Amino acid sequence: MKPIEIHEIPKELSRDIHSITFPNQGCTSNVGIIHTTEGKFILKRAKGELYRQWLAKEATLLRLLTKTPLPIPRIYRFIEENNRDQSWILMEYIDGNSLGEVLQHSKSDEERHNLIYQFGNILRELHQTPCPEELITSKPWLDDMLEQSQYNLDHYEVDGTQGLLDELTENRPKDYKQTLIHGDYTIDNVLVHEGKIVGIIDWSGGAYGDPRYDAALAIRTQPNAFENDEDKKTFFAGYGETIVDEVEYIYFEQGLYEFFRLMKWNKLCFSAFCVMFGCSALIKNSL
C-alpha cells in the first residue's frame, strides 16, 4: 500500500509539515515520520468500515486511560471523514523501538532478561489498573470473543476453522477474575527506549476481560523471544505469578487468537500505523 501523502491528510492536521520519511514497516509501508519545527506527533489512519471501527475503539480506550499511570500515548484528536471512508487519530509521539526489534538485536542475555522481566512487570501494572466503568459489562468477555470469532469466521479470512471454534466453545477454561486487558499484548506492541519499556500501543483490543489472554499472547514464541522456558520464567517473575498454564496457553494463543491473528495483520496493512508531526494549533484544538 502506498505511503500517505501530505495532500491526503485533513487540512486541520496537515499544517507546518516540512517533510515525511517512511521507515521500512513491511505490510505497514504507509507509516510516515513527518518533521516540523514544532516537534513530532503520531497520526494514525484507518480506511473501511471495519478498520475505522477499530480505530474509533482505540481512540475511546486512549481517552478513558488518559489519567492512569500506564505508558500510553496521549490522544489529541480523532477525526472521521465519512465522505472519504477514513478516520484519523492524532496522538503523542513516543520515542522508541518495538520490544521485538530490540530483542532481535540484543547483545547479551542480561539485556534480554531485563527487558522480558519489564515486559511482565508492566503487564502486571496494566492488569492492576482499575478498569474504566465504561468498559465494564455484565456479559463475560469470553462469551463476546467467541461470538466475534464466529462472525469473523463467517465474514473474513481467518486462520481458525469451524471445528476449532466448536472445540473452544465446548472446552472453555475455568472462570477467572476479569481485569483491564490490552487484548493484543505482544512484543510488537510495546516500545523500548534506552533499555526501558516506555510505551504500550495499539489499544483496539482493550477491554474488561481475561488477563490470561494477554499473558498467553505475550509469551507466544517469536524469533529470539520465548523460544525457551527461561524467557517464560523471567516474564512471570516480572509479572509476579504464573497465571496461565500450558492448556490455557494453547486455548488462547493457538485457539482463540486464530480468529483474530490474520485480521490484526490486515488491520495494519489497511491503516497508517504512525505518521509523526507536531503543530501548536493542533494542541490548542486537542480533545
User: Mind listing the pLDDT tens digit for each residue in 73-99?
Assistant: 999 889 999 999 989 888 888 899 999
Residue in 1, 17, 13, 149 with CA at minimum distance from that of residue 90: 13
pLDDT tier, 262 (very low <50, low <70, confident <90, very high otherwise): low
User: Mind listing the pLDDT tens digit for each residue in 94-116?
Assistant: 899 999 999 999 889 999 999 99
Q: What pLDDT is stored for residue 287 in this prediction?
A: 42
Report the percentage of the chain scoring pLDDT > 90. 63
Q: What is the DSSP letter of 174?
A: P
Q: Are 276 and 185 in contact (CB under 8 A)?
A: no
Q: How far apart (Å, rounded) are the C-alpha atoms in residues 132 and 189? A: 21
Grid cell 473452544 is found at 168
pLDDT tier, 48 (very low <50, low <70, confident <90, very high otherwise): confident
Beta-strand relationship, 190-193 and 32-35: unpaired
Query: Averaged over 123-131, what is the pLDDT?
Result: 98
Q: Report the predicted TM-score, pTM, of the whole model to 2 decimal places.
A: 0.87
Beta-strand relationship, 86-92 and 41-47: antiparallel
User: Is pLDDT above 70 for 254?
Assistant: yes
Query: Averaged over 169-176, what is the pLDDT?
Result: 96
